[in-house]
Every structure is written in structure tokens, then in C-alpha cells.
Structure 1
């Protein structure tokens, strides 16, 4: 706080960092899970083959036992089977039918408060950037760190590019992102991360203000033990 006051006296703008998980945090639901369900409902994916698997992966994620490699193979392979133009058309319908109803006012207000304060706002999500980039734009958040699907000439290959943005991978990806902008953790006086999931404990433990949002039981217990705020955006 003393450093902030002196910087303000010297006319130096203080910049803080606000990080947001997306699924079941800003969104009242899981965009990864709903994208697969949407493709099943569209008849793009076979219900008998994919629905049970989609549910199983979602339960594993919530339990903290998800094998990210197996999940990404399941999630990204369908992208490689269809032209990007068609995928983009489907995504517009997905946003209208599935995503926008999950975007609540409390979540929008939280993001807006940090933006009005001049904080650097970043959505950090395990869900792939094809699914999440339009959602980040809908929240008005310019910066997105997500799992990156590999592309070849603008079309998806079905593979993942680089480190998945999951668990410790979120920390790696974020620190690489900061470094690319000439920043590090010490560049910010205040740092926040808002998340619902035990899977985000590695990144929650890195920020000055970890906030549990409608948390799962494991994260709630951890937050209460360590005196972290617990809030609801529902």
C-alpha cells in the first residue's frame, strides 16, 4: 500500500491483475461440457457413443482425477472432422442457445468492477480457445489464456498445441504470457484469481487475493481453512 501511494504521488499508474476462471465461475455452467452436448443435440456426434463419455469426463474433472491428455483427445478430435467455417457457424448458435443464458449479471458486474479500476483482466481456462474466445469477447475481456488446439492452414488437426491450460499448466501458461509482455508477479501490487475448482489450487495459491466462487467441496474446505473469501455469482 505504501508503494502504491508513492507511485501515485510520482504520477506512476498502478496496474493490478485480475484473473478469472471461466467454467462454473464466470459462467453458470461448463462451456466444454455444453459444447459436446450441443454437438450431440445437433446430430454431429453420436449420442450413444459420446454422451456417456462426456458425462464421465465431467465427473472426473469435478473430482480432480481428469486425465487431461485423454480428455483433449476426446474434445479436440471432432474439431478436425469439420471445416472451420462450419464450426464457426455452429459456434454462433452455441453461443445463442447455450452460453449466453449462462452469463449472469453478477459475473458481468465483477468483471466490470475490475475493468473500471484499470486492472489487467485475463480469463484463464482449461477449455480450448475455439470454444472460449467468443465467450471472453462477450464478457468484454480482451485477454484469454486457454488450451490451444493445433491448427494447419486455419483448420484444426485434432491435437493440442503447447502446454494445456490445466492445473499447474495454468501457472506455466500465465507466467509465459506475463513474460511475453515484460511482466512478472512482482509487476503487480494486487493480484486476484476467481475460481470454483480444486483443479485451480496451483494458480489460486500464487495470487495475493484467491477467491473461491461457488466452490466445489474441496476448494470450499481449503478456502475456509486458509481464510480465503468465498463468494457466489449465481
Structure 2
């Protein structure tokens, strides 16, 4: 009697901001970046003004590109090692308390079921990777910016947002052999609809109104996470990077945050 063929590898893809974390990772880092002198109060005011414009006028691709460019210019000239040091120093105080307990438990269940866990975020790899390591994730897909001579140039090399998330997931699935029909994806925002549609088991987590309507209409599960608690640092396997490179900056995630707020207001 021949043995049954082994099933294809599976993965669970998690958006980070408002899905695993109770807020945006870029927001959690604003205070430490300001204290370190990398951000100025004028930078924060410009960012707030841009977000207000999105809420009042609405979001589209053209406006999102303009805001993304403005935010990338804010990091122009920053020293990458200094930025990483600020991020590492901020994790335990500013990021860990924002992790949803429900997300931690769900990630553990996927691991127990033999699936890889992939964090997919428009935030920076330098921000996402240490958070993913705390969670025990296996892969990271994140945005990238150019670094020359140890300094950020302000040029966005890769922006993992909207349809780009789905493209990156498909590329990673082809590389790792994942059966996307057997994979799961989790997000709070309708801007991640392409990512959710790319897998066989999409799940809405604390969804905005547009995503909630879509999830209900299509019969997708809707989860409600409400318990952000400190997450003790845990030793994990080395992360394999699914997209982007180590030369990335976290503040480009603010563009995604702006779009999310605009969709929630609509």
C-alpha cells in the first residue's frame, strides 16, 4: 500500500498595524524618534496636516503617492545604524505593550498546525523584523528604501502596499511552495483586500467599515482583538526575508496609516 503524498506547505499571512499591533508601528516610534532628534516637531505637524487632508478629501493612488514621497523625504540623510538603534531601544517600552494577545495565540495555533507565519507590512523591515522575531514569525515581507554610504537617500525602492502585498505573497508562495488555497491571511483594512483575496482563508480582524461589508457579504470570518498586552521577548528561529532588504525605513508606513484612516472616515 503506497503512502499518501505529503501536503503542500502552508502559511498564515498577518498584516501588522491594527492587526497584530493595536496601533500603527510608525505611531509607536514617533516619540523615541523625536527624542533621538531624528524627527522634529515640524515633521510631525506636516504629517498631521497631510493626514487631515486625507480624512477630509479622501484617498486615491495619486494622493497616496504624494504623501509617501513627502514621508520618504523626511528620512533623507538619516543614518541607518542610528535609526536601527532607536528602533531596537523602543521595542520593549513602546511596541511590545501594543501586541494583541489574541494575535499571539493565533500565531501559535498556526505554528502548532504546521504552517509558517509571515508578517506582511508596509512598514520598514528594520521595524518589522524585530517585532516578527518577538512573535516567532518565519518570514517578513516589508517595504524598502535606498541606503547609500550608510544613509537613507529618501528614495523608495519598494513599497509593499495594496496590490503589492498580494504580488509579494504570490512570489513568496512560488518560492516556498505554499499552496495559497490552503493559506490564511489576516488584516483590518480594505486596502489589504488583494492580499486577502490571494488566499483560500481570508479573515478580517477589527475591520474598517468597508472591509467589514466585504467580509460579511462574502462570508469571511471576522475576529475582534481587544487585549493588547506586553509580549515577553522569546528566542526564535532566524527569519528569512521574503521581500525587501535590510535597507528600509519605517516611516513610509505612515502613508498606509493615512490611507487606513481615510477609508475608516469614509
Distance 1:134 1:20 in 2: 15
Higher relative contact order (CA 8 A, sep 6+): 2
Distance 1:179 1:13 in 2: 15
2:44 is aligned with 1:86: no
> Deviation of residue 54 (structure 1)?
4.0
Distance 2:132 2:53 in 1: 25
Q: Deviations along 1:174-231, whole A, 9 cap, x unmatched?
A: 22223334x36xx355111100001011111221111010111111111111111111
After TM superposition, list the pairs within 5 Å mapping 1:84-163 onto structure 2: 84-162=80-158
Q: Deviations along 1:161-184, whole A, 9 cap, x unmatched?
A: 13x211111111222223334x36
> Deviation of residue 159 (structure 1)?
1.4
The counterpart of 2:182, out of the listed 174, 190, 200, is 190
Partner of 1:30: 24
Partner of 1:176: 171
- Long gaps (5+) in structure 2: 227-266
In the alignment of these two chains, the number of paired residues is 222
The counterpart of 1:166, out of the listed 161, 165, 185, is 161
SS at match of 2:19: helix
Distance 2:166 2:141 in 1: 10
- Long gaps (5+) in structure 1: 1-6
Question: Residues 138 and 74 from structure 1, CA distance in 2 versus in 1: closer, same or farther, beyond 3 angstroms?
Answer: farther
Question: Residues 17 and 91 from structure 1, CA distance in 2 versus in 1: closer, same or farther, beyond 3 angstroms?
Answer: same
Distance 1:102 1:78 in 2: 25
SS at match of 2:198: coil
Distance 2:160 2:77 in 1: 23
> Deviation of residue 156 (structure 1)?
2.4
Contact 1:125 1:166 (8 Å CA) reproduced:
yes
When the two chains are superposed, the root-mean-square deviation of aligned CA atoms in Å is 2.6
> Deviation of residue 58 (structure 1)?
8.3
Partner of 1:217: 209
Question: Residues 65 and 40 from structure 1, CA distance in 2 versus in 1: closer, same or farther, beyond 3 angstroms?
Answer: farther
Contact 2:190 2:208 (8 Å CA) reproduced:
yes
Distance 2:52 2:24 in 1: 9
2:221 is aligned with 1:229: yes
Distance 1:177 1:132 in 2: 17
TM-score by length of 2: 0.74
Contact 1:19 1:121 (8 Å CA) reproduced:
yes
> Deviation of residue 29 (structure 1)?
0.7
Question: Residues 147 and 206 from structure 1, CA distance in 2 versus in 1: closer, same or farther, beyond 3 angstroms?
Answer: same
